[in-house]
Structure 1
Amino acid sequence: MGERIEAWATQVAEAELRSTLPRRWAHTQGVADRAVEVRRVLGQDAGLLVAAATLHDVGYAPRLAVTGFHPLDGGRFLRDEHGADERLTRLVANHSFALLEAEERGLQGELASEFPLLDDPLLVDALVYCDMTTTPDGGRTTAPERVAEIVGRYGADSVVGRFIRRAAPEIFSSVERIEAALAAQPR
């Protein structure tokens, strides 16, 4: 997995998001940029991280929104229409503590059975870091600012607002672990 999967992921995400959801496409590009920066701490999984970062929000595409829960819709799309790598589909379907949101939506069983969590904490943390340090427009932000932005956009009592507040401690821990790993690595 490497440059070829990264190029494929960009092609797929761009085709699904660029014209229909340009702001989501901008966020996706920013998340992918963060993944390129983080790749040095991942070794052989660097290409997988970049691909997952590029595809993490593909399930928002209107034609793919079957359940209305973008991680599940994105994972199913990648698995069913593209026969994508199982680790990639599991990362996309579970990005940024999606299992907690699935619970809020009554979809926890479906998500967990179709796309079990990966047992690769560094890779999972890296994807959380990339997503949760990127604004909706693709710029850089801190994890606390990103969580506050999400709560503000969706409302504290919405499904997403409740989920993100529950997930915040885990998000912050993931981001801290990746920041520490980056600090320990030579540039």
Structure 2
Amino acid sequence: MVNHLSAWARRIAQNQLETSLPRRWAHTQGVARGAAALEPVFAADSEVLVAAAFLHDVGYAPLLALTGFHPLDGARFLRDEHRTDERLVRLVANHTFALLEAEERGLRAELEAEFPILDDQLLTDALTYADMTTTPDGAPTTPHARIAEIVARYGPDTVVGRFIQRAEPEIMATAARVEQAVAAQPR
């Protein structure tokens, strides 16, 4: 069942991405499906998790890409234009080890000051996991394959290539934590 917050988030993301960045929109939908599949683990937080999944890449939208760093651009858009819940905005701002990429871009202090990381590590992990187990076309994948695809697409010596290689151990640890939480659920 789609709840109010995730339905709203889906509309916002679709309006920003579907026409201008259809492949990014396909990825976004896949990430939201992945986040929804984690509902048994995150029942209390599934609404905010799925909404964050829909919105995690909204900062790529051409009209929103002011700094060129999508977590910061997306979080600012959600905060400033939509007065979105702070928890949701902070998830979007910090998804998939954004602080490491922000550091590569010289934006770490700015990101940390405006959007501190949530104290809920497993919820943040869940969004990262959903992102890193979804291909650019929205299909399921493994974190290893996703990292390799990102390095191949951007190049190993680019900002994104350097960041994702640096983040790989953390991404793999995140995947292990989420998979352990899923496995611990009663069947």
Q: Give me the TM-score of the superposition, normalised by structure 2.
A: 0.98
1:68-88 C-alpha deviation (Å, 9 max, x unpaired): 000000000000000000000
1:180 corresponds to: 180
1:151 corresponds to: 151
Q: CA RMSD in A?
A: 0.8
What secondary structure, in the 3-state scheme, does the structure 2 residue paired with 1:64 have? coil
Which blocks of at least 5 consecutive residues in structure 1 are unaligned?
none
Runs of 4+ off more than 2 Å = none
Q: Offset at 1:23?
A: 0.1
What secondary structure, in the 3-state scheme, does the structure 2 residue paired with 1:41 have? coil
Q: Give me the TM-score of the superposition, normalised by structure 1.
A: 0.98
Which blocks of at least 5 consecutive residues in structure 2 are unaligned?
none
1:96 corresponds to: 96
Structure-1 separation of matches of 2:129 and 2:170? 11
Percent identical = 66
Q: Offset at 1:186?
A: 2.8
| 1:7 equivalenced with 2:2 (yes/no) | no
Structure-1 separation of matches of 2:40 and 2:80? 31
1:54 corresponds to: 54
Structure-2 separation of matches of 1:96 and 1:59? 14
| 1:129 equivalenced with 2:129 (yes/no) | yes
1:119 corresponds to: 119
Structure-2 separation of matches of 1:137 and 1:51? 19
1:18 corresponds to: 18
